Amino acid sequence: MRILVTGGAGYIGGFTVHRLLADGHTVVVYDNLSAGHRPAVPPGLLHVGDLADTARLDHLFTAERIDAVVHFAASCYVGESVTDPAKYYRNNVANTLTLLETVRRHGVKRFVFSSTCATYGVPDVVPIPEDHPQRPVNPYGNTKLAVEFMLRDYTAYGLGFAALRYFNASGASADGTRGEHHNPETHLIPLALQVALGQRPHLSVFGTDYPTPDGTCVRDYIHVEDLAEAHALALGAIVPGEGKAWNVGTGSGSSVREVIRTCEEVSGRKIAVVEGPRRAGDPPALVATGDKLRRELGWVPKYPTLRQIVETAWAWHRQNPKGYSS
């Protein structure tokens, strides 16, 4: 297939591009580089543009004869979504609607959406099954759920979609050549490893009084290559006119303190911590069961443990202390 990957210069998008190429697909990357990196994309694939640019999208779909879309382009910081919700509704909802209308005009029937377990809000049960009520507690989760609603309604036009709900993409390629690079960095594992490398004086921990075993938030950490594999499998399972949602999770979570301890063990270095109050919009625990994905698509994670994930991240950060600008 000829696949358009929006946000394909970003972290998860870039890894998915490499996975789709390995499967023999023709891949076109569309990214405005507001958060992505040119070196994350193989040469010749990147088209720089914004999802709000309807004319450019139409030209791209026509010129590249797009068969399917894998959509990553979005703003994705919970804290920022609380302080600047307009940015999230504009980028995540309005721009996705522009993309979906382009998809409809050009008769594309396959769409994979990068969703999130944040659509569940504060869960009633953990691990969270796919049929759990979706009650987001922050604007980021609200905007992702809004897109899921749009996708369900767009099946009226014959669109087939897969929504993948996951949380805390982590890790790097086994050879340390591709990994996580955000500016600003807000994700726990890279922040902890930057402290281990001496690039930050300390790691901030937001909230130590949550109703969890050690008082800190619990999250499901998924290796980025396992996420890329899930997107490739979901793409192959799409049926035009139908929609499905899958969680991508290990079924077990790790607390902030557990992540810090694992980063210390892997790096062999002490990580200074400063504890602070809770951050607005953070549920105590988000862990997604991946049973349905395993059962229906045969997904098997290559990196099922937190230590394996941190080991690949540590290799990346040591070899590329400035990320893709090293």
Coil vs helix vs strand at 162: strand
pLDDT in tens, 139-157: 999 999 999 999 999 999 9
Which residues of 73-129 form beta strands (DSSP E)?
A: 110-116
Q: Do residue 160 and residue 291 come from a single domain?
A: no
Q: Do residue 33 and residue 92 come from a single domain?
A: yes
Say what the pLDDT of residue 77 is.
87
Q: Do residue 229 and residue 94 come from a single domain?
A: yes
Write down the catalytic residue from 11, 30, 140, 210.
140
Q: Do residue 243 and residue 98 come from a single domain?
A: yes
Q: Do residue 165 and residue 187 come from a single domain?
A: no
Q: What is the amino acid identity at position 202?
A: H
Q: Do residue 228 and residue 80 come from a single domain?
A: yes
> How many domains does the chain fold into?
2
Q: Do residue 124 and residue 257 come from a single domain?
A: no
Q: Do residue 239 and residue 294 come from a single domain?
A: no
Say what the pLDDT of residue 253 is.
94
Provide the whole-model pTM: 0.96
- What contacts 182, CB < 8 A, 6 or more positions away? 11, 35, 190
Last residue of a domain, one of 204, 229, 248: 248
In angstroms, the Cα distances linking 165 to 75, 119, 183, 225, 290 are 15, 8, 24, 15, 10
Host domain of residue 312: 172-219+251-325
Q: Do residue 157 and residue 259 come from a single domain?
A: no
Say what the pLDDT of residue 283 is.
85
Q: Do residue 20 and residue 77 come from a single domain?
A: yes
Residue 193 maps to which CATH number? Answer: 3.90.25.10
The Cβ of residue 209 has, within 10 Å, a number of other Cβ atoms equal to: 11
Residue ranges of the chain with per-residue pLDDT less than 50: none
Rounded to whole angstroms, the Cα distance separating 288 from 252 reads 8
Residue 132 maps to which CATH number? Answer: 3.40.50.720
Q: Do residue 282 and residue 157 come from a single domain?
A: no
Catalytic residue status for 221 = no
Q: Do residue 233 and residue 122 come from a single domain?
A: yes
CA 293 to chain centre: 16
Percent composition of the chain: helix, strand, coil (DSSP 3-state, to 5) = 40, 20, 40
